[in-house]
Amino acid sequence: MAHDVRKLASFWDRPSGEFYSSRDVYIIGLSLSEDDFFVRFLFLESLPLSDWEEIQRQTVIINPSPENIAHYSFIPNEKKTIRYKHFDSDDINYFIAQRTR
């Protein structure tokens, strides 16, 4: 399995760069497993966990399952917003409202 991870290493550089330079990141329905260390590493290295001067950055997690949300405990509470729900059109309005802050 380690061989597969090495093959995918260059793939993970792409989302890492996008996350790192993003103001906000939205994770929709990803049921991150406890042993998915590669994705956790990617998130810890690249999610918007620090602000840019006066611009606040955040990670929004949309998932209806409290068990799945618990797997995101490695993201500091002050840097994540959790929406316990299925993704729907209300979330689009939420995204738009967030862009104006």
The pLDDT tens digits of the residues spanning 5-60 come to 566 666 666 666 677 677 888 999 988 888 888 788 888 877 877 777 777 788 89
Q: In what order do the strands lie in the sheet with 24-28?
A: 24-28, 58-62, 80-83
Neighbour-count burial for 81-90, b at 16+ CB within 10 Å, e otherwise: ebbeeeeeee
* pLDDT exceeds cutoff 60 at 82: yes
Helix (H) / strand (E) element for 6: namely helix 2-20
Residue with the bigger pLDDT between 101 and 51: it is: 51
58 touches 92 (CB < 8 A): no
Q: How confident is the model at residue 88 (pLDDT cuts 50, 70, 90)?
A: very high
Mean pLDDT of 77-91: 91
Residue among 22, 7, 42, 10 nearest 98 (CA):
22
